[in-house]
Structures are given as C-alpha cells and as structure tokens.
C-alpha cells in the first residue's frame, strides 16, 4: 500500500522507511519557532533545564502577536526573547515583520515536504504549501529547540474532493466556511485532510493560505492542498534550487473520502461564538455592526487587501463604524503601499496598522468592547476571544461592503445611505483567594484519582473559554488557576468553588483553539487530578501529556453505564483505565494512559 501526504512527509523526517496511522515516532523538524506569545516560557524551559540549542540556523523567534509592543508585559517578554536570541545566535523576526507562519512561507523556511513547529495553534496553515506545520505548547517547542525532533502520533488521513465549477462569487473564505458548515468542529478531529479537485488546482497561494488556516477550527491536524506547478515555481525562485515534488500515492489508504460539489457552495458567515456555526449570508444580512476588521493569518494577504480595496475605492466607512485593516506581513504591507491600496483605505476612513496577528492574539488591534458587534476576516470568534462583543466571520469583500453599509451585506447590495445604530454595554469579572492556590500546591501526584465530579456536558470548549487571552502574559503557574474557566458561560466562578481533588468530565474536542500552555497549567495550579473528555483538541492533548497533566478519553456509553451525575464521587485509575462511581458502586473501563503518556507522567513532564 502507498502513503498519504502526511505519511510521506513524516517518513522522510523519521528513521523509518514507512509510517502508519497510530504509530508514535520521532520527527525531525526543519523550522523551529517561538513567538512573543509562548517565547518567554520556551526561554524559561531552556534555561531552567540547562538545555542548549540543537541548531541555531533552524531556530527562530517571531514577534507577531503584539508587534506594536503596546502592552508592557508583552514588551518585557519580547525583550527576554531578544536577550536570549543574542546570546544563542537565534534569528528574530521582530515587530516590524508580521505573522511568523507567513514569513516562513515567504522566505522559503517552510516549503513543500518540510516540517515546522511554532507556538502558534495555526502553524498547520503551512499545509497550504504542503509543509507539515504544527502548533505546539512551550514545553514541546523547548524540547524541539534542544533535540531537533519531537514525538508525534501519525494521524489517519481523509480525502475531500471538491467537484464541479466554482461560482464567481465564492471566495476562498467562503470555501472554508462551507467546509466548516459540512464538517463542523469535531467530525474530522485528529485527521490529516487532503483537498483535491479541478478548482482546487487553480487556487492561488493566498487562497490556499486562507483555506488551510482554518483546519484548526475543523479540529483537524492539518489540511494539505497539493501544490500546483505555480506553487513549486514560487518556492524554487525563493530557494534558488529544485524542490522535490510531494504527493500521495495512487494506492494511498484514506480513512474516509468525501465528494462535495463546489457549485453548491454559498456565500457564508460564521455566527458569533462558533467558527463552525456558519450560515448562508442571507440569514445575517442587515445585522447592524459597530466595527469591522480585515486581516489575520486567514485573510491578510495582498489578494485579500486588493479585494477590500475594490469595494472601498470611492466609498467611505459608514458613520460610527470603525474599520481596522492589518496586513499579514511587512512584504504584503509594502506591496499594498506600492499599489496604492493603503491610500484607498485611508481615504475610506479605515485605520491601517503595521503587519501582525491583530486582535486574534489580543495584542494589537481588532478587539471589541461589551455589546459591540463586529464583522471580521479572522478565523476565530469564540466568546471573549477578541473582546466582550460579538464577532461574525466573513470574506474581505463582505467585511468591506458591510463597513460601508453599516450592516452585514454583500458587495452587490451596498446601500447609497448607510445605516445608523445605537450602542449597548455590559460588564463581567472574577477572582480567587490566595488560600486556594496554596491548597492546590499540596495535591499529591498519583497514578489514580478520586474526587467530586464537575460534569460539564458541552462540546468544543476552546482555550479562550478555559484561559482567556487577556491573561497570556502570565508565566507563573501559581497565578494561572484563578482564571480557569472564567470565560466559560455558567462556570465563571469555577476557580472559586473547585477543590484540589475535583475531577472534570466534559464532552468532545475539549481544549480546541490556541496553543497556550496556560489552558493546561491553570488546572494543575488548582490541583485538578485528571480531566476526562470524549476527545481533545490536538495541541491541547499534547500540552497536557507533556506537562504531566492527566487526561483520559471516555465514551458516552461509559458515562451512562456508571450513571454518572454532577457531584458524584468518581475513582479513576490512570494505568488500568478502571473507573468507579463511588456514589452508586457502578464500574466500567476507559482508555488508560498510553506508554508514552505514562512515561512522561512518571517523569514529571517531558523534561
């Protein structure tokens, strides 16, 4: 049997002649990246464990989450990284550069068939050029910096065929929103996706980046788009050498295959709160907005800016509406300036910032306030992700048209007179006592757990709900517990009520979203001994295992079998997988720790 794309790339970067789904292997990494978000913790792990850089020529910092240095804690963290970089000859792509994953592609540091890791949960955007990119937590990245490789479980692959002709009004953003509409946030959880079709072959680099950037929101490990000859020509020009072609074998084995008709795709928006909560734009039309944002790793490319400029030329942003535009990289920014796009944006009344991630990482622009309604080209609109308002997701053209109209609309339905609107405001906050943190430290490390159950019957609890991005500058684990779940509706006071022995039992795709290690460490700080979920976000699962935070998988049938209710006393054995509802004596078995997980746990973490 032949190999899929991911199997070929991982085989080429391992000691094996062939790898298979489920196999755990060491993978050598070509580009090893830490951002200003996560970078200081990588430095802390390197220095705290007396680790040396394996290969400085393959090791990089990218300052993209707060490229303005406008937050004091981010500025301090960036300086920590700069000092470490000077001492260890590590290359920095500083605050003038833009989004790190885009830089890797622009400079040929990530190319077809290569491997790359970053403290960016959207590092799998590199699937756009058939590079195996992965977002990882700071412990993983430090291990890669020190060893040049990291363990990885080979995922199964699925093939999606987009048949038919692409309608003229369907953008790359619409394509991926239609895919999210079809597959949701977890039906392809943990898979490597390969995308094929005549219209797929025609996609430009910028369009491929848009589509691949939202594999994370689909729960996938990565979404590969096989390179066209134009893509290979681009990289050969950048690298000045021949690039080996990478493709799946004709007899490659896929776990699932899907055939979709792209001719049926609609212009879509994601409703606030869920990137996968997509609907035909007709359902959201006329929704008044307060602000609009064009940018992010999903739609900050030159083609995206041209699309927005075509709408904005000769028009102005509606009164009272704020339009913010952030190019993805400085190269894109410079090109936009040469083409006169920046002038068009300014004349339309938009604010244009220097290249970077913008509001997605809470570090630049694009945030919103309580009651504020925004429409954005970003990839995430989790509650609280970009502020206290509500965020719709759409294509650059739709965002630009909506900014002019004052409400959500399409480019063929922009009114001559924009809408007026009223504003609303709300409030929220939480905290935790010092005593709770001290109690948490006393929890003992064991290979079993017994405690009261917090039964949180929800799927797709993302890392912003677990540990909001406004706390990302915190690096002291003892300070993290007080913020656990403070952005999860109904559980804002969780950290005040949870006891160090309490067990969390939740639904599918727990920990989806960001690569932030804090979303794991906040539970360690509180003394939570184990988390049971039906499935986990791929990065979250790695972060938990590497941090020796016990996590285990269960099925709905198991919970029904032991008749588990909120507040029951539950016993869980990590090694055997035996569980018992002590409140009623009913027993069952779930998936125990894997050998790798047990080794890391007994070692106290990956270090």
* 3-state per-residue secondary structure call for 172-230: HHHHHHHHHHHHCCCCCCCCEEEEECHHHHCCCHHHHHHHHCCCHHHCCCEEECCCCHH
Is residue 144 situated within a structural domain?
A: yes
- How far is 488 from 352, CA to CA, in rounded Å? 32
Q: Do 458 and 365 share a structural domain?
A: no
Does position 561 have pLDDT exceeding 80, yes or no? yes
Listed residues 384, 405, 426: the one ending a domain: 405
423 pLDDT tier (thresholds 50, 70, 90): very low
Longest dimension (CA), the chain: 72
- How far is 555 from 532, CA to CA, in rounded Å? 10
Is residue 425 situated within a structural domain?
A: no
Q: What is the pLDDT of residues 40-71, one digit of tens each?
A: 999 999 999 999 999 999 999 999 887 776 77
How many domains, in total, are found in the chain? Answer: 3
361 pLDDT tier (thresholds 50, 70, 90): low
Listed residues 208, 235, 264: the one ending a domain: 264
- Residue among 485, 535, 528 at smallest CA distance from 503: 528
Taking residues 498-515, report their average pLDDT.
Answer: 95
Does position 541 have pLDDT exceeding 80, yes or no? yes
Q: Do 138 and 173 share a structural domain?
A: yes
Is residue 421 situated within a structural domain?
A: no
- How far is 531 from 463, CA to CA, in rounded Å? 14
Taking residues 231-247, report their average pLDDT.
Answer: 96
Residue 422: both structure tokens together: 């009223």
Is residue 410 situated within a structural domain?
A: no
Contacts of 329 (CB under 8 A, 6+ apart): 97, 98, 99, 102, 103, 106, 300, 355
Is residue 414 situated within a structural domain?
A: no
Percent of the chain's residues with pLDDT above 70: 95
User: What is the model's pLDDT at position 75?
Assistant: 85
Is residue 419 situated within a structural domain?
A: no
Least confident of 122-126, 417-421, 475-479: 417-421
- How far is 279 from 296, CA to CA, in rounded Å? 21
Q: Do 182 and 280 share a structural domain?
A: no
Yes or no: say if 564 and 532 are a contact pair by the CB < 8 Å rule. Answer: no
Q: Do 372 and 252 share a structural domain?
A: no
On average, the pLDDT of the chain sits at 92
Q: Do 323 and 233 share a structural domain?
A: no
User: What is the model's pLDDT at position 41?
Assistant: 95
Contacts of 111 (CB under 8 A, 6+ apart): 105, 129, 131, 235, 238, 239, 243
User: What is the model's pLDDT at position 583?
Assistant: 95
- How far is 167 from 268, CA to CA, in rounded Å? 13
Q: Looking at residue 481, which CATH number applies to its domain? A: 3.20.19.10
Does position 440 have pLDDT exceeding 50, yes or no? no
445 pLDDT tier (thresholds 50, 70, 90): low
CB atoms under 10 Å from CB of 181, counted, come to: 17
362 pLDDT tier (thresholds 50, 70, 90): low
Does position 426 have pLDDT exceeding 70, yes or no? no
Q: Do 528 and 446 share a structural domain?
A: yes
429 pLDDT tier (thresholds 50, 70, 90): very low
- How far is 276 from 186, CA to CA, in rounded Å? 10
Contacts of 82 (CB under 8 A, 6+ apart): 61, 92, 94
User: What is the model's pLDDT at position 421?
Assistant: 59
271 pLDDT tier (thresholds 50, 70, 90): very high
Does position 389 have pLDDT exceeding 90, yes or no? no
Is residue 534 situated within a structural domain?
A: yes
Q: Do 283 and 304 share a structural domain?
A: yes
Q: Do 252 and 280 share a structural domain?
A: no
343 pLDDT tier (thresholds 50, 70, 90): very high
Q: Looking at residue 385, which CATH number applies to its domain? A: 3.30.499.10
User: What is the model's pLDDT at position 119?
Assistant: 93
Residue 464: both structure tokens together: 């912003």
- How far is 79 from 77, CA to CA, in rounded Å? 5
Q: Do 198 and 284 share a structural domain?
A: no
422 pLDDT tier (thresholds 50, 70, 90): low
- Residue among 138, 144, 108 at smallest CA distance from 126: 108
Does position 424 have pLDDT exceeding 70, yes or no? no
Does position 72 have pLDDT exceeding 80, yes or no? no
Phi, psi of 145 (to 5 degrees): -60, -35
Listed residues 210, 235, 264: the one ending a domain: 264
Q: Do 257 and 294 share a structural domain?
A: no
DSSP-assigned letter for residue 460 = -
Domain of residue 230 covers 5-264
Does position 444 have pLDDT exceeding 90, yes or no? no
Between 445 and 351, name the one with better pLDDT: 351
Q: What is the pLDDT of residues 308-328, one digit of tens each?
A: 999 999 999 999 999 999 999
Is residue 585 situated within a structural domain?
A: yes
Q: What is the pLDDT of residues 5-34, one digit of tens each?
A: 999 999 999 999 999 999 999 999 999 999
User: What is the model's pLDDT at position 556?
Assistant: 87
Q: Do 326 and 221 share a structural domain?
A: no
Q: Do 142 and 158 share a structural domain?
A: yes
3-state secondary structure of 320: coil
Give the containing element (helix H, strand E) for 540: helix 538-546
384 pLDDT tier (thresholds 50, 70, 90): confident
The pTM score is: 0.85
């Amino acid at each position: 049997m032949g190999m899929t794309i991911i199997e070929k790339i991982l085989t080429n970067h391992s000691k094996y002649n062939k790898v298979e789904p489920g196999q755990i292997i060491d993978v050598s990494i070509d580009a090893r990246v830490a951002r200003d978000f996560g970078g200081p913790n990588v430095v802390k792990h390197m220095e705290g464990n007396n680790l040396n850089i394996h290969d400085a020529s393959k090791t990089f910092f990218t300052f993209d989450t707060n490229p303005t240095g406008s937050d004091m804690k981010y500025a301090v963290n960036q300086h920590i990284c700069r000092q470490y970089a000077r001492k260890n000859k590590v290359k920095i792509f500083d605050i003038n550069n833009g989004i790190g994953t885009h830089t890797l592609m622009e400079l040929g540091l990530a190319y077809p068939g290569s491997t790359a890791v970053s403290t960016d949960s959207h590092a799998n955007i590199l699937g756009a050029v058939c590079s195996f990119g992965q977002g990882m937590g700071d412990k993983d990245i430090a291990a890669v910096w020190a060893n040049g490789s990291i363990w990885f479980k080979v995922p199964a692959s699925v093939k999606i065929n987009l048949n038919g002709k692409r309608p003229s009004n369907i953008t790359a953003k619409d394509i991926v929103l239609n895919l999210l509409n079809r597959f949701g946030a977890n039906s392809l959880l943990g898979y490597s996706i390969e995308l094929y079709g005549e219209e797929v072959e025609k996609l430009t680099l910028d369009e491929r980046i848009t589509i691949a950037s939202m594999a994370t929101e689909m729960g996938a490990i990565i979404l590969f788009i096989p390179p066209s000859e134009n893509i290979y020509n681009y990289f050969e020009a950048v690298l000045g050498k021949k690039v080996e072609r990478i493709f799946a074998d004709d007899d490659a084995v896929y776990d699932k295959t899907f055939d979709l008709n792209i001719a049926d795709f609609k212009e879509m928006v994601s409703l606030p709160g869920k990137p996968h909560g997509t609907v035909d734009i007709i359902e959201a039309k006329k929704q008044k907005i307060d602000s609009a944002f064009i940018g992010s790793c999903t739609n900050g490319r030159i083609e995206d800016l041209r699309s927005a400029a075509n709408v904005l030329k000769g028009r102005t942003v509606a009164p009272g509406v704020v339009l913010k535009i952030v190019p993805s990289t400085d190269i894109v920014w410079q090109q936009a300036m040469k083409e006169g796009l920046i002038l068009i944006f300014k004349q339309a009344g938009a604010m244009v910032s220097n290249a970077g991630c913008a509001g997605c990482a809470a570090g630049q622009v694009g945030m919103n306030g309580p009651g504020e309604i925004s429409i954005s080209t970003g990839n995430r609109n989790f509650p609280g992700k970009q502020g206290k308002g509500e965020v719709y997701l759409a294509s650059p053209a739709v965002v630009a048209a909506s900014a002019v109209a004052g409400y959500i609309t399409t480019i063929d339905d922009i009114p001559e007179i924009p809408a007026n609107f009223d504003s609303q405001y709300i409030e929220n906050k939480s905290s935790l006592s010092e005593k709770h943190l001290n109690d948490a430290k006393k929890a003992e490390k064991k290979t079993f757990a017994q405690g009261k159950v917090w039964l949180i019957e929800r799927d797709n609890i993302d890392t912003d709900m677990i540990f909001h991005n406004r706390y990302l500058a915190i690096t002291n684990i003892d300070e993290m517990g007080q913020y656990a779940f403070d952005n999860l509706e109904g559980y804002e006071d969780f950290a005040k009520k949870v006891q160090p022995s309490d067990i969390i039992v939740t639904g599918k795709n727990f920990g989806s979203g960001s690569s932030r290690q804090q979303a794991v460490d906040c539970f360690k700080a509180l003394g939570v001994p184990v988390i049971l979920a039906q499935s986990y976000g791929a990065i979250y699962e790695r972060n938990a295992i590497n941090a020796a935070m016990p996590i285990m998988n269960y099925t709905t049938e198991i919970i029904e079998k032991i008749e588990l209710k909120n507040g029951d006393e539950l016993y869980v054995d990590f090694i055997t997988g035996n569980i018992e509802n002590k409140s009623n004596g009913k027993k069952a078995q779930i998936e125990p720790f894997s050998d790798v997980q047990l080794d890391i746990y007994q070692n106290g973490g990956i270090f």
